[in-house]
Amino acid sequence: MKLKIKKLNEKAIIPTYATEQSAGADLYACIDNDIIIEPGKTAFIDTGLAISVPCGNVALIYARSGLACKRGLAPANKVGVVDSDYRGEVKVALHNHSSEPYTVAAGERIAQMVITPYIKCDFEEADTLDDTDRGLGGFGSTGNK
């Protein structure tokens, strides 16, 4: 699949896959000055890129595991969604879950982007739903058997 990318800033870095089998492509900070994210705070980090996601697909923005596990930084909305009709700059809202300030540097890998197909549904209101073994069991109910 080809994904068209427009550089909105000459310093922007095109996403890269770390390995041949990586599902997520790394996104890079395209900033002029370091950004300090204080504990418990969120900062919007520019990538300097706009993308054209093919119809029937979505770009999902996830945390980079090393940044999240070692530094406590992850997207504030947990998973960012870039719809196929969006043409603005891809930005990452990074939230600092740690107790220490974190400095984001220009060119740093800040998140990963996965392109995936999605299914669009026609929602139909119903008075009843089919029965299942699980039934009404919710949060944690499948681990109690």
Per-domain residue ranges of the chain: 4-117
The third-level CATH classification (topology) of the domain covering 4-117 is Deoxyuridine 5'-Triphosphate Nucleotidohydrolase; Chain A (2.70.40)
pLDDT tens column, 56-81: 999 999 999 999 999 999 999 999 99
Query: pLDDT confidence of 13, banded at 50, 70, 90?
Result: very high
Q: How far apart are CA 50 and CA 38, in angstroms?
A: 27
Tokens of 91: 């930005």
Residue 108 and residue 86: Cα distance in Å, rounded? 24
HSE-CB for 22 with a 13 A CA cutoff: 14
Average pLDDT over residues 92-112: 97
Full-model pTM: 0.89
Show the tokens assigned to 48.
Answer: 């300097």
